[in-house]
Structure 1
Amino acid sequence: MNLSRLDLNLFIVFDAVYAQQSLTRAAEVLHVTQPAVSNSLARLRELFDDPLFVRSKGGVRPTPLARQLIEPVRAALATLNDCVSARLDFDPAVAQQTFRLHATEQAEFNLLPALLRALTRLAPGVHLEVVFLSRREVPLALASGELQLALDAPLLNHPELLSSPLYSDQYVCAFRAGHPLAGEPLTLSRYLAAEHIHVSSRLKGSGHVDLALRSIGQRRRIALRLQHYGALPGILEDSDLVASIPAGLARTWGLTVTELPFETAATDLHLFWHRTADHDPAIIWMRELISSLQ
């Protein structure tokens, strides 16, 4: 193989198709036409004497050779990117940039106020766009550059994502001041006798608290199910309902809380980014800033 005749842009196309699992989406990410992507793949297929990608439901999937090539190709592209961009050390004081983040609602409540204060002080030209995607969509969005970072529970198990833990929070039982449960130790029987609010972005299924109760053969009475936390403080203040929520949220709203009368798993938040962005100066700076807020 004569490297002097090799077009390195072909490997950028290869990386995009591998990440997007679709020629159409790869073309959109690269801002080229689909025929241009197809032509580049044809040249690579001839070069390696392998189809590299085969059609599958909803797109394409890599061949064994493509899976073998992707890591060295990405390592080489990252090295070249570092060389080109050793360049441009990120200067937050003068940067004019927008970061797009995926964040859970809990992350928004706990981190965004402090992050915005820090940006106002350190990087007045840096702005945020915060979105919420399904966990299935996040890896592709990070791979394509549609997202720069993601704040989520440690459930985004994907080989192309890197992560670091941000914090761990325990669940507490929250209710209004003057609630009948206030003032005395919360026993399991009193907890189970209350009517509960369950908050989950999912339409169905159990949360941490219900799984913990199930492990001891118990079940709480759920009077209200919500997909978002926003209405929770007002509902609790105006009723005798209780909610088992992360302690950080309860502190944010100044709710009366007590420890749960049973063991539950903590709720964890991690920061995720794509491995191809591991050396990007701007993303490194934002990662370090977010981590410093804990």
Structure 2
Amino acid sequence: MHLSVLYRGRLSSCNYDCGYCPFAKTYDDRETLRRDAEELARFVSWAERARHPLSVLFTPWGEGLVRRHYRDAMVRLSRLPHLRRVAIQTNLCVGLRWLDEADLDALALWCTYHPDQVDRDAFLGRCRKLDRRGVRYSVGMVAMREHLDEIEAMRAGLPAHVPLWLNAYDERPPGYYSAAEVERLALIDPHFRYNLDPAPSLGAPCWTGENVISVDGNGEVRRCHFVSERLGNLYDGSFAAGLRERACPNACCDCYIGYVHRKDLPFQAEFGRGLLERIPLRQAWAMPAAAAGR
């Protein structure tokens, strides 16, 4: 059995102050950070004892890599012989020397560029350092209308092999994007429409709860971040009895880390082992002539 684990601990602090994020500039006190580190270490120890192939995606509410315990966890997990992939969502704000200790065949980064928080050239400089190290990574942005030119500039600045994925702006009013803007965004991210206008989910076949699970700091297991049904606990092994084929109980799933696991959508085939870090199997982007001449 291959099991993909979406781990979200109690960390919620972030060094960025994005207006669209409810956790911008939140603060975790020392006790919260201590408990988060202990719980993460317990999870890593569980992964080390596992005897089946694993993939792990860290999806912290805040920025994990500013905390040493997340960097150390990434390194330890990357070295496990049965670990296929370990990835984390990050704003890429930290130094990169810690990556020199990791097995880069297993590690990947899901990076997000926030143009109101960091200079584009500085962010691209960090991406170039990742390329020199041979790190697998994707880059993403929230597709706000005021950032359309910046989105295209970021796409032009990234190497062709690096995907630029786009999330639709969550707080958008009806008609927020024009048809022309949707086309413009879809030229950069061919999967943008799945995020903008997700297909109905109720009854759709899904891998979550079968070979994909969500785990919190206490080891409580649910099928995914968006379904509250408890399957058991990771550490006493009770979750395993609850793993089975399931259909989605939600009317809609509009987050990549949810709908990417649907069996009726093309992501498993198109992304393969790059599913968790949001890297498709084939990525060689070139700016269309119409966009280049804008």
For the pair shown, the structure with the greater C-alpha radius of gyration is 1
**TM bucket by the smaller chain?**
under 0.3
RCO higher in 1 or 2 (8 Å CA, sep ≥ 6)?
A: 1
Q: TM-score, normalised by structure 1?
A: 0.24
What TM-score results when the alignment is normalised by the length of structure 2?
0.24
